Structures are given as C-alpha cells and as structure tokens.
Amino acid sequence: MFIDDIIYVGILLGSIAFGDIFRKIKNPNTKQWVSTTVGFIIAFIVSGWHIVHPICITFINALIISQLSHKIRHTVAFVFSFFYLLVIFRSADWFGLPISPGHTNLILMMMTLKYAGLGFEIKTAIEELKENPDVDCYKAMKNIGMIDVVHYGFSYMGILTGPYYRYRTYWDCINRNFADYIDCWEITFSKLKIISINAVIFFVSNYCFPYTYALTDDFMERSYWYRVWYVYPTFVTFRTRLYVGMMFSECVCQMAGLGAYPISSQPRSGLGPKDYKVATQIVLNPEKIKEEKMDFVTVHNINIRGVETAYLVRDAMKQWNITVQYWMATYVYKTFPHKVLRVYLTFIISAAWHGHYFGYYVCIFSVPFYLPIDDLYVKFYNQSKEGSFAKKAWWFFLWFCRFSCMAYLGFGFQLLSFENNYRYYWKAVYMIGHIVAIIVYIVGLGIKPFLLVNGDSKKRL
C-alpha cells in the first residue's frame, strides 16, 4: 500500500509539472496526441499488462458512441460501461483471472463515468446545435469518431482519480486558449500548500490511530466508549487522505489549463459554463477575453471549508467529490423516469461504482436514514432568532450530529469487507450509531409539537 501511494503521488506531481509544458503546445492535434500518449504511459505504469481493461472498455465504447444512432447510444454506452466495470473487471477472479491493481480500478472508474455520460452529452449537443448552429464544439461532438473517444478517455488529465469533466470541457482545453489568461501556477501553488498541511495531518493521524487497530483483539479489550470514540480520529485520517488526493487531481487539471473559463459564463463543477454561448463569444473576441476574469470552478472537486463547516449531512455531501455528484445527478437522478425511485437508484449506482466491498454499501445506503433527522431538527434551527443562544445551540447540535454520522459511517469505507464491518459495527459498538439516530429522531418528533412554531413567522424561540 505504501509503495502504491508513493507511485500515485509521484505520478501526480510529475503530471502537475508537465502541465506547464503541455499548455505551451498550441497545435490542437499535437496537443491532443501528447495528452493521450502521456495518459497511456501513466495507465501502463500503474497497470502493466492489466492495461488491457482500459483498452477494451475504450475500444468498445468508441464503437458504440461513433457507430450507433444518437437515439440509443447513450443508453448502450451507459449499460455497457457499468457492466464492464462491475462484472468483467471487478469479477475477473470469478473467471480465474488475476485481480487488477487498485490504480487500474481508479482508471476504470473514471472511464466509466466519461463514456457513460458521453452519449448523453452528444445527444444534448445535437439538440443544442439546432439553436446554436455556429458553435464549433457542438459540431465536433455531432461528428465524433472513434479516435476522439480514445483521446477523451486516455487523456492524462484526471486519468487516475478525476475529477470528472465533460467532453466539452476537454475539447475546449485542446482547442481554446482560455488558460492563457489565468495564472495557473499561482492557483496551483496555493492548493499545494493546503495539500502539504493535510498530508502532515494524515501521516500523524494514521500513525497514531490506524483503522486496522480496530480489527485487533487488543482493541476489543478496550472500554466500550473508547471503541465508539475511535471513529473520530480515524475520520481525520480518512478525510485528509481524500482531501490530498482530490486536490492533487485538481492541480493536474489546472496546470494543464483544463477547466479554465470566464467567470461571466457561470461555470459549475463538472458542468463547465452554464452559459456556454457567453464563453464562446468571449473566446472569439481577442480584446474582450483579456478583460475577463477566469477560474477553475469546472474542475473543483472538494470544498474543504464547506465539508468542515456544514451542519447538515446533505450539505456536507454536496461539498465532497463534487464533479462525481454532478455526474450522478445529471445522468442518473434526472434521467430516470420514475421520480419515486430516483434517490434510491442514485445511491445504488453510487455504491456499485465505488466497488463490491460491503463497507461501501453500509455507508452509502445508511445515509438516507439520517436525512430525516436533518429535515426535522433544521426546522428548530431555522425558526430560532438570529444571534440567539438557541440558534447557536441548534447549529452546534446539527453540526455534531452531521460530523458523528459521517465519522461513524465513513469507518465502513475503511473497513471494506463484511467480516471487518461486522466485527466493528455489530460486535464492537453494537450498532450504536444507528440506534442513536433512531432515538434522536423519535425525540425530535416528541418535542416538535412543543418547540416548533407553526403559521407565525414572527414568533421565535
């Protein structure tokens, strides 16, 4: 694991440094091939002969997306991508094949999102082309070929851990010059400083409170409340590790110039410009583009301040792996026809995408049962007078519940297997997090008639 982490960090640092060279390439065709070549080399370094999996999923999706009708290719690409990831790749040992390295799994995870979403994106672009016939990006997407899919999938920008970005964003990076008008290094350097701080915290926390200690007999001999408390320091390790990984990935994209857009085009994480017409008009105007302020919100994948200060579970989740959540919302939640089942399907797809491990399902499928607590107690918070002790007390209560929920459920992400999760959640702490959540919700229902002010906005607690 330690050697894998060194290789992972080394590749990311090398990719960040390479970005300064990459941005200086002005010929779109050369730039595209350089990006793909570097991405392929990275995939080969971390995968070895297991690179056959990224090649297979890319080649077949290239056929699907370039050859099938736009009326069905989005559905076929979506189904095939997840089938390959979940059945062929992750169940390889069922067929007597060796299990691939963890980094190959990361590559397949990101390729699955790219290819599964690309069909939908092309379909939307074709519809947009009817209203904006002069948009070059939409023309390119309408005529997308096999090699274009390969370039998109194997681009070195985000090939390991993302962030997810649309083909439109990739096309703009190759063909537009937005990144020439923003200081990529200054923004990246500021993030590298934050990464360094989180890396130190991670190493200290991981050394003092390794999650593996919870699997030892010595841990089981500890007091009950110590075993319950142990999720809090390990949650520090868990989230700082993710902070480092996600911010490193953002830095790779920023140094390459990927995701740079004018602020006036209203860029959003994962989506890119909300008003793409404005972005197109600006890039074609040499004088106007010099006056525009740019940002990298499009590839912004983690909001550390938002995660740490959020007092509701759903708000904290929205600040975490933002571009993947955009993908889930856009291509799963909003596209599924049955509204009642949308939330459940989104959680199922999310859990399956993360992997087969039981811990992923324990964590992700438990989250919906904590959301009603948010919805109930936030009413008490909202009706409290601004600046009052009650307002501050309810905020702290909600924040502590949110933090405890994520620490408790996040431990399942680290324990992974059924045996490990059973050992901790059932044998060590007796499912205390789930039991307390039920009690807190029942208490909230009980005090609701006495504390909640209905129908009179002038009354405050």
Picking from 269, 286, 95, 74, the residue whose alpha carbon sits closest to that of residue 180 is 286
Catalytic residue among 61, 198, 206, 321: 321
Handedness of CA 120, 124, 126, 127 (dihedral sign): positive
d(CA 403, CA 238): 13
Around 168, how many Cα atoms within 13 Å sit in the side-chain half-sphere? Answer: 29
Three-class secondary structure of residue 158 per DSSP: coil
Distance CA 120, CA 125 (A): 9
- Examine the residue annotation and report whether 103 is marked as an active-site residue of this protein: no
Cis ω before 163 (30° cut-off from 0)? yes
CA separation for the pair 185, 188 (Å, rounded):
5
Residue 412 and residue 415: Cα distance in Å, rounded?
A: 5
Catalytic residue at 53? no
Q: Which helix (H) or strand (E) holds 179?
A: none
Contacts of 454 (CB under 8 A, 6+ apart): none
User: How far apart (Å, rounded) are the C-alpha atoms in residues 293 and 428?
Assistant: 53
Residue in 412, 411, 333, 405 with CA at minimum distance from that of residue 374: 405
Out of 70, 132, 175, 354, which one is annotated catalytic? 354
Tokens 């010099």 correspond to 290
Strand residue runs (E) in 107-241: none
SS3 273: strand
d(CA 431, CA 434): 6
Question: Three-state DSSP class for 26?
Answer: coil
C-alpha to C-alpha distances, 107 to 6, 42, 289, nearest whole angstrom? 17, 10, 35
| Spatial contact of 312 and 379, defined as CB atoms under 8 Å apart | no
What's the one-letter identity of residue 116?
A: A
- What H or E segment, with its residue span, contains residue 422? none
Give catalytic residues, as residue numbers.
321, 354
